[in-house]
Structure 1
């Protein structure tokens, strides 16, 4: 662990850190001269900024589930650039590609290597295709081009071998690469990012769409509203839309509890990301992140811990009261505070799912990314759960998961299965 002052990074800042560590940008726009330690919301030290601005990696940036986190796709810019050939074109796929976009990509691939760059933010805006969806769409575009070219080569008759070879060349020219990319104003220009990944030019297919295609997409986006206004007088259409917007679904609180290092935060983040990807929208209330905002200033004695957990439960119940899904992941070692959270959720009319992440202490201690167990064993951290403070095992958990036996992907599937059955 370093003794430098620390800065907890936002999601956008984490994206920028990934870009910088991978060689896509030269400097971090948010980091002043060091020494400064950059951490995630779990206080894991990720990198250190020296006095001259030099960036030194300390720990890997935590990954989550979804195709946008596939290690074969989410690559450092310097590694992709090292393999790129002269004349490489980058296609910036910030939107799901259309058939017209596919034709633009195919034409470029016929002329040389093409990088399908997928800008991937850690958050999905409501009503938009997020990072996971864009990644799947980019991979699907490659499949669509492959199938289209095979169909054409199959109809080529005597020229079939020649057409097949051309189709294979185009297919080999395409490569999907996921680029961590923030949503805020500090995002680097696509052209600069593309150059760092080894491309000599960048094309945004969405900017080249024909007027008819643009008009079709615009009509699609407003199809429901236009249909209502065709069927109803204006006043009636407004009331039907208002009623639909006010439609209320039952809210849900998914509350993870377990020792530090048990994997609860990892599973919670993966669950929230998957729910976002499905358009369900989830609010993630991770223990360490809440400590920096909602519970800043609280200590780690029993009373402070229970207050922290109850605050998390109160916010989660507000989210769920209005039909949202709250995913919380504090340690929550005491039964009394967990019972209070359950009561808050149920009083708000929400479903409540308590997930005990029961990973054994020795496994949690071996993981110890932040070095907390070692400090607790040395007596440097008092009241540390599992070492010098008790963890009261839940007797009423709806689901028990041991992440030393179950993968993150399977753990998320178990949680969703339990939710579906509730």
Structure 2
């Protein structure tokens, strides 16, 4: 059996992988969507490929016995999860589990809820579910960051939960991992069958043109109200001032050992801030290394240049009223001080978060096997092993993920951020 190069999955492909691991998508369709050479395997050759996240952590293994054979999928490690209602395991259930729970129902209708439902949508749900034995409200959510004007995944799930009682039959809400850009030929209607539905309807898709126009015109409400109160010249100035108004920007800068939990807490914080409608940009250490700082080494000079680049981008985000969240290791005090100075020069709030998870805990986690390689001398300049970590004495928040939950850590950082923003 030959092994294809490992495939690094972005957010959309991670959604597809989660869907497939739960039985909502056939491995063949997963392979076709994420492996460009899946259909061009040498005749008679069996192949395998390891699927990883952007941190190169192995998540699953796809195998094909050769042309004509079906692909198989094996989970190697649980996919990382975030916080918020969209990650609640009671709602984000695998397709096979939902299908099994609905097996005794003769008529199951799946209603797709992909936008905050209106009163008209609620009436539609009641009508469509009236004659069904069971109703499933499928809420498609994506890992990819949403547009600022859209209701976020958490808000969408809460809306669906409030909608469930309007169904005339027993109804449940099920969160479906769904890429923001699905591959050609894959529809939510197809996936709904894997969740046990006999028929499917799109709640938003049934809206007539008048309702669509009303929803689309919500952004014009302020302009119309201002125009009714002010003469044209004054109205233009009031609207100009409103467009220019912004919240004070902020940079939340996490530092700590590899494996300390920085990225996990940073992602969860970003999700929570976005769910609250705040413009948030996440600059994760590994992702930045692949793009903004590609080619830089891990010696002191390379590390400091990497942190300076992160700090510069974060300060630009904060300058325009956004919240930038960065989660590099950032082992050197001089680099962290430079980032603080860049942020504060723009008038933004700067919050240094030290994720003080002990080195032995981080090494025991060793998700990517990096500590073991560093101990063996295979990785030079590895922080905590062959390169120093200068523990911050100026941290605004200190957390330890070995003695508390992610939710608790996020709450502590959020409290400090809210207080700093006033």
So what's the TM-score if we normalise by structure 2? Answer: 0.88
CA–CA separation in structure 2 for the residues paired with 1:329 and 1:50:
34
1:98 aligned residue:
118
Q: How does 1:255-294 map to 2 (within 5 A)?
A: 255-294=253-292
| Shift in CA distance, 268/230, structure 1 to aligned 2, threshold 3 Å | same
1:17 aligned residue:
17
| Shift in CA distance, 384/176, structure 1 to aligned 2, threshold 3 Å | same
2:313 aligned residue:
315
CA–CA separation in structure 2 for the residues paired with 1:248 and 1:104:
38
| Shift in CA distance, 87/319, structure 1 to aligned 2, threshold 3 Å | same
Which shows bigger deviation, 277-286 or 299-308? 299-308
Of the three residues 128, 136, 151, the one matched with 1:115 is: 136
Q: Name the SS for the 2:130 alignment partner.
A: helix
| Shift in CA distance, 303/214, structure 1 to aligned 2, threshold 3 Å | closer
Instruction: Extract unaligned runs of 5+ from structure 2.
Output: 39-46
2:91 aligned residue:
73
Q: Name the SS for the 2:272 alignment partner.
A: helix
Q: How does 1:334-349 map to 2 (within 5 A)?
A: 334-349=332-347
| Shift in CA distance, 90/377, structure 1 to aligned 2, threshold 3 Å | same
1:179 aligned residue:
176
Matched, 1:127 2:131: no
Of the three residues 60, 84, 92, the one matched with 1:47 is: 60
Q: Name the SS for the 2:347 alignment partner.
A: coil
| Cα distance, 1:313 vs structure 2 | 0.9
Contact in 2 for aligned 1:120/1:180 (Cα 8 Å) = yes
Which shows bigger deviation, 376-385 or 265-274? 376-385
CA–CA separation in structure 1 for the residues paired with 2:54 and 2:12:
12
Q: Name the SS for the 1:272 alignment partner.
A: helix
CA–CA separation in structure 2 for the residues paired with 1:56 and 1:299:
34
| Shift in CA distance, 105/266, structure 1 to aligned 2, threshold 3 Å | same
**Partner deviation per Cα, 1:179-232 (whole Å, 9 max, x = no partner):** 011112527312111112111111112233466655654554422122122233
CA–CA separation in structure 1 for the residues paired with 2:259 and 2:3:
22
Of the three residues 160, 167, 177, the one matched with 1:138 is: 160
State how many pairs are aligned. 396
Contact in 2 for aligned 1:38/1:45 (Cα 8 Å) = yes
| Cα distance, 1:415 vs structure 2 | 0.8
Instruction: Extract unaligned runs of 5+ from structure 1.
Output: 147-166
1:31 aligned residue:
35
Which shows bigger deviation, 85-94 or 36-45? 36-45
| Cα distance, 1:380 vs structure 2 | 2.0
Contact in 1 for aligned 2:3/2:48 (Cα 8 Å) = no
So what's the TM-score if we normalise by structure 1? Answer: 0.88
Q: Name the SS for the 1:289 alignment partner.
A: helix
Contact in 2 for aligned 1:6/1:36 (Cα 8 Å) = yes
